């Protein structure tokens, strides 16, 4: 990166011939000044500093309370719960999404319509309504039974509220809702793969399932991962909606605490800080996944942040050495 910028700045507006005619390699021109940029930057910095100052000195915010609760046991538990929920819901959503996308692209019209209807329903009703619905599933079915429909044959039966705990209800609500969106992403990914590749796989004797797993999906992943990263981040934040059905995740924990100590603002800041940390952390696996599935499409793989940092250190070092060298030379000349 730094290399490119450095070289990009160098070329002058003279052609090589003109340059030789002028007998110089550097053009001594005064760079264009941009006073507007400086003014804009100064105003914005002043505004932000002012706002920060007012927050810091606001008597309504007890900074010590924030510090106290940031690593409170209940909050940390809530964070872990939020992470677990996000992870499980995304796994459920992705699995369902692949199934729905394959159904949507199948030759069987019944499967196509079912997949379409699923997406229609779960995309067409508010997530909040779906969450409450799953939370109150016990009102619809007191018991859940596993058996053969329209017969008296039953293999197992259990109380709904014992199986569909708040965690399970939240997981189902978030996962099934997300699957509807994710299935469109997966479908777009599957459609992006060149059909010639499918034919080549078939001509080698690969079965349709094998072709999907080894040839089509790995290529589709390149298209699927960036939007799925987005979806994961919104999923993480949507777990806060589960406060409504008392799933003990991060936001629920903060709201329970603030209901006792009445420090709503402080606890909202605690929650926001954790959400920001978690969403920031999530972009790391996304970067590595994109890098992995980008193999073959880029002529050379992008560097990992670690490799980039090492390269930057190396560049700074050589530059420092160069500067030291020229300094020593000019001193010698003087």
Partner 1 sequence: MNTQALDGPKPLVEARDVRKRFGANLVLRGIDLRVERGQVMCLLGPSGSGKSTFLRCINHLEWVDGGRIYVDGELMGYHEHGGRARQMKPSQIAAQRRSIGMVFQRFNLFPHLTALENIVEAPVGVARRSKADARTRGMELLERVGLTDRAGMYPAQLSGGQQQRVAIARALAMDPKLMLFDEPTSALDPELVGDVLNVMRDLAKSGMTMIVVTHEIGFAREVADQVVFMDDGIVVESGAPTDVISNPRHGRTKTFLDSVL
Residues that bind partner 1 (CB under 8 A): 194, 196-197, 199-208, 210, 214-215, 218-219, 222, 293, 295-297, 299
Q: Which is nearer to partner 1, 123 or 213 (CB)?
A: 213
Quick check: 88 and 175 in contact, CB under 8 A?
yes
What 265-271 contacts at long range (C-beta under 8 Å, 24+ apart), as own/partner pairs, is: 265/60, 265/61, 266/61, 266/62, 266/65, 266/66, 266/69, 267/69, 269/61, 269/66, 270/66, 270/69, 270/70, 270/75, 271/240
* Distance in Å, CB of 61 to partner 1, minimum: 52
* Residue 145 DSSP label: E
The one-character DSSP state at 15 is -
**In terms of C-beta density within 10 A (0-12 exposed, 13-18 middle, 19 or more buried), how is residue 314 classed?**
exposed
In the bound state with partner 1, the residue whose beta carbon lies nearer, of 172 and 228, is 228
Compute the least distance from the CB of residue 218 to partner 1, in Å.
5
CB of 299 to partner 1, least distance (A): 6
Question: Exposure pattern of 122-139 as b/e (b: 16+ CB <10 Å)?
Answer: beeeebeebbebbbebbe
Of residues 131 and 217, the one with the C-beta less far from partner 1: 217
Contact present, 166 and 245 (Cβ < 8 Å): yes
CB 294 within 8 A of CB 302: yes
Determine the distance from the C-alpha atom of residue 321 to the mean position of all C-alpha atoms in its chain, rounded to a whole number: 40
Choice between 260 and 300, CB closer to partner 1: 300
Minimum CB distance to partner 1, residue 209 (Å): 9
Report the nearest approach of partner 1 to the CB of residue 214 (Å).
6
- What's the token pair of residue 45? 């910095």
Nearer CB in complex with partner 1: 142/197: 197
Judged by beta carbon, residue 251 or residue 293, the one nearer partner 1 is 293
Q: How far is the CB of 136 from partner 1 (least distance, A)?
A: 44
Q: Would you say 222 or 263 has its CB closer to partner 1?
A: 222
Q: How far is the CB of 208 from partner 1 (least distance, A)?
A: 5
- Look at the alpha carbons of 269, 275, 281, 287 in this order and tell me if their dihedral is positive or negative: negative
Q: Which is nearer to partner 1, 55 or 301 (CB)?
A: 301
| Alpha-carbon gap, residue 228 to 246, rounded angstroms | 27
Both tokens of 312, joined, read: 């930057």
Nearest distance from residue 190's CB to partner 1, in Å?
14
Residue 115: both structure tokens together: 């997949």
């Amino acid at each position: 990166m730094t290399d490119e910028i450095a070289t990009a700045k160098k070329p002058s507006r003279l052609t090589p011939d003109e340059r030789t005619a002028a007998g110089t390699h550097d053009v001594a021109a005064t760079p264009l000044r941009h006073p507007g940029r400086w003014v804009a930057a100064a105003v914005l910095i002043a505004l932000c500093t002012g706002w920060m100052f007012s927050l810091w000195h606001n008597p309504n915010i007890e900074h010590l309370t924030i510090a106290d609760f940031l690593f409170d046991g209940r909050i940390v538990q809530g964070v872990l719960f939020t992470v677990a929920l996000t992870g499980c819901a995304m796994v459920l959503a992705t699995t369902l999404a692949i199934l729905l996308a394959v159904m949507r692209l199948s030759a069987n019209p019944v499967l196509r319509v079912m997949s379409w209807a699923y997406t229609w329903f779960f995309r067409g009703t508010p997530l909040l309504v779906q969450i409450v619905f799953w939370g109150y599933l016990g009102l619809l079915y007191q018991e859940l039974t596993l058996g053969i429909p329209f017969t008296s044959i039953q293999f197992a039966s259990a109380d709904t509220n014992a199986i569909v705990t708040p965690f399970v209800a939240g997981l189902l609500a978030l996962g099934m809702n997300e699957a509807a969106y994710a299935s469109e992403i997966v479908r777009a990914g599957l459609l992006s793969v060149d059909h010639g590749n499918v034919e080549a796989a078939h001509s080698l004797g690969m079965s349709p399932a094998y072709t999907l797993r080894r040839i089509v999906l790995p290529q589709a992943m390149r298209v699927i991962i960036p939007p799925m990263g987005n979806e994961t981040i919104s999923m993480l934040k949507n777990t806060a909606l589960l406060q409504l059905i008392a799933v003990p995740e991060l936001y629920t924990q903060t709201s329970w605490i603030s209901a006792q100590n009445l420090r709503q603002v402080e606890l909202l800041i605690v929650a926001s800080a954790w959400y920001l940390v978690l969403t920031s952390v999530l972009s790391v696996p996304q970067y590595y996944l994109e890098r992995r599935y980008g193999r073959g499409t880029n002529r050379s793989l992008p560097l990992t942040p670690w490799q980039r940092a090492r390269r930057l250190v190396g560049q700074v070092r050589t530059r420092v050495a160069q500067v030291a060298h020229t300094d020593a030379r000019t001193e010698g000349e003087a």
